Each structure stands twice: as structure tokens, then as C-alpha cells.
Amino acid sequence: MEQIAVLLMAYGTPNALDDVEAYYTDIRGGRKPSPENLKELIARYERIGGRTPLLDITRAQARALQAQLGDGCRVYIGMKHWHPYIAQAVDEIAREGLRRVVAIALAPHYSKFSIDGYIQRVRDAVQKSNAALDVTFVESWNDHPLFLQAVAKNLERTRKEFGAANWEDIEVIFSAHSLPERIVQSNDPYPQELRETCEGVAALVGLKQWRFAYQSASHTGEKWLGPDILDTLEEIAAEKPRRVLIAPIGFVADHLEVLYDIDVECAERARELGLELRRIASPNATPEFIAALAAIVRDHSLR
């Protein structure tokens, strides 16, 4: 039986503070950031210890997924904006003689603005390598039952950490990375896929009322999707100070948007507003999440 290559793709993260400028430049398509913007980003990494564990987590996810899938598949990792780059993973797949590839970005929700960037990098690398690779792209998996169950389990665990028997006294905010508002004009499915995930998770835990907010918008001079999560915290505090649970359903691993934007920035704002704030654990390499990834890969490798 032909062995299948599974390419797990993540955004990437600098390994140390000295790498931040080059990493930021890569994100900006080769344009160096301004000294002010670079200083701000470095300060964020300093607040969380100088680096994120994203690469370590992605490697752990790959190892666990390999164990789940067995000898019929071989799992590789590639990063969009840092080492090991997607192109390096494609070259390794070609060198090792595999021909069928299932490529999946570790981001559940499709947007042309984001996921297409991963797909194009794979296509460019395949063309450059001259390898006869047959690539199947997993474009989204926002409503996969096992993914929803993995998030729901973490949501329930955090409710219990509050000491609450039900959801009545907890305000739940689902969140995801904001994107430029112009995506709406092209009927991009991103907002709808996010809503589907929220509704699916809420149904599993019996959550009747919840909010959704975007986070981590970039300062590019154009309008980004809202409402912003910091504004949502202020709205909750104005209504009635209470316990708030953030579920960042757009992210599946701990990295800057989780460890700084939520655990530092949102936490500080919540304290100022008199809110008791908790965040659900990221899926990372938990057995429930790996089972979801394995099922998604199997669904696409049999096509």
C-alpha cells in the first residue's frame, strides 16, 4: 500500500528575540517593519518569556498524529513564516519518494486571505521541486464533530474551574483572529464558518447565550472585522461585572495571539474592569484533538 505524506502547516514563530525582526519581515512579504512596530512586537514576546511554544507544540502534534495514523502515513511539519518552512517540508517529502500528500493548515476556518497563503506556498514548492506530488488540500474543518467535541470538553472543564454548576453566571466569548473587513465583499466564508463552530460547540455543552468577538487585528490602516474582544469586555462590565470565559476557537495551539493577546492584554483589561476572566486550554496535542486531526486526514486520504 502506498504511503501517504501528511503535511501539518502552522503560522510559525521566532525561536528567540533576535529572530523577531526577520520573522516580522517575512510576514510583511520581505518589507522590514518600522522601528516602532518592531519594538512593540519584541515587547510582546518579552512579556511571555521571549518565545512561544508553537514549534514545540506542532512537533508534538505531528508525533501524536503519526502514532494515531500508523505506518500508512508519514507526518511532516512546515511553517508559513519561519523555519522549518513549508517549502523545506515539501522538499523532504519529495526526497523521501512519497507522492500522495494531504496538506492541512492548523487553522480550522477557511478564508482566502489566510488559508490560500498556505496552499499557494505548497503549490510553489511543488513546482520548484519538479516533484510529481499529488496534493490534497484540507481547506477547512470548522464543523468536524471531533474538533467540536475537543473544544466543548475544554469549555466544560473551565466552567468547572469557575466552580459553576451551569452557565447562568458565566459570560462566554468565542474569539478568532480578525481579518480585513473587505473579505466580506467577496463573500468569504470565514465569518460563517466561525459562527458554525460557535453554534456547534454551544449545542454540545447546552450553552444558550454566548458572544463572539474578533481579536489580534493588525494596524494596517484599513478597517478590520469586529467587534474587538477588548470592546466586548467593556460591554460586559458595563452591563454587570461577572465571570467571563474566553474560548479562542480560531486557534489550536498556544502562541502569541493566545499567550499575549488573551492571557496578558485581555487579562489586564478584565482586572481593570472588575471581571473574573478565564480562558479555555488550547487543543495543542491533547488526545481529543489528535483524534480529530487523524479523522480529518483519513477522510481526505481516502478520496
Residues 90-103: tens digit of each pLDDT: 999 999 999 999 99
Q: Which of these ranges, 55-64, 157-166, 189-198, 214-223, has the smallest mean pLDDT?
A: 214-223
Examine the pLDDT at 240 and tell me if it is beyond 90. Answer: no
Cβ atoms of 138 and 103 within 8 Å: the answer is yes
Examine the pLDDT at 276 and tell me if it is beyond 70. Answer: yes
Cβ atoms of 297 and 133 within 8 Å: the answer is no
Separation between Cα atoms, residue 11 and residue 216, nearest integer Å: 14
Q: Round the average pLDDT of the chain to a whole number and report it.
A: 96
Residues 52-94: tens digit of each pLDDT: 999 999 999 999 999 999 999 999 999 999 999 999 999 999 9
The mean per-residue pLDDT over the stretch 189-217 comes to: 98
Selected residue with higher pLDDT from 212 and 221: 212
**Which pLDDT belongs to residue 80?**
98
Examine the pLDDT at 303 and tell me if it is beyond 80. Answer: no
Examine the pLDDT at 131 and tell me if it is beyond 90. Answer: no
**Which pLDDT belongs to residue 34?**
95
Q: Which long-range contacts (CB under 8 A, 24 or more apart) does 197-201 make?
A: 197/108, 197/109, 197/142, 197/143, 197/147, 197/148, 197/151, 197/249, 198/174, 198/249, 200/143, 200/148, 201/148, 201/151, 201/152, 201/155, 201/174, 201/247, 201/249
**Which pLDDT belongs to residue 1?**
66
**SS3 assignment for the chain:** CCCEEEEEEECCCCCCHHHHHHHHHHHCCCCCCCHHHHHHHHHHHHHCCCCCCHHHHHHHHHHHHHHHHHHHEEEEEEECCCCCEHHHHHHHHHHCCCCEEEEEECCCCCCCCCHHHHHHHHHHHHHHHCCCCEEEEECCCCCCHHHHHHHHHHHHHHHHHCCCCCCCCEEEEEEEECCEHHHHHHCCCHHHHHHHHHHHHHHHHCCCCCEEEEECCCCCCCCECCCEHHHHHHHHHHHCCCEEEEECCCCCCCCHHHHCHHHHHHHHHHHHHCCEEEECCCCCCCHHHHHHHHHHHHHHHCC
| Cell numbers for 272 | 481593570
The mean per-residue pLDDT over the stretch 181-203 comes to: 97
The mean per-residue pLDDT over the stretch 194-215 comes to: 98
**Which pLDDT belongs to residue 241?**
72
Examine the pLDDT at 302 and tell me if it is beyond 90. Answer: no
Examine the pLDDT at 290 and tell me if it is beyond 90. Answer: yes
Radius of gyration of the chain (CA): 20
Examine the pLDDT at 8 and tell me if it is beyond 90. Answer: yes
Query: What residue ranges define each of the domains in the chain, with the CATH number in brackets?
Result: 4-141+286-301 (3.40.50.1400), 145-279 (3.40.50.1400)
Whole-structure pTM value: 0.96
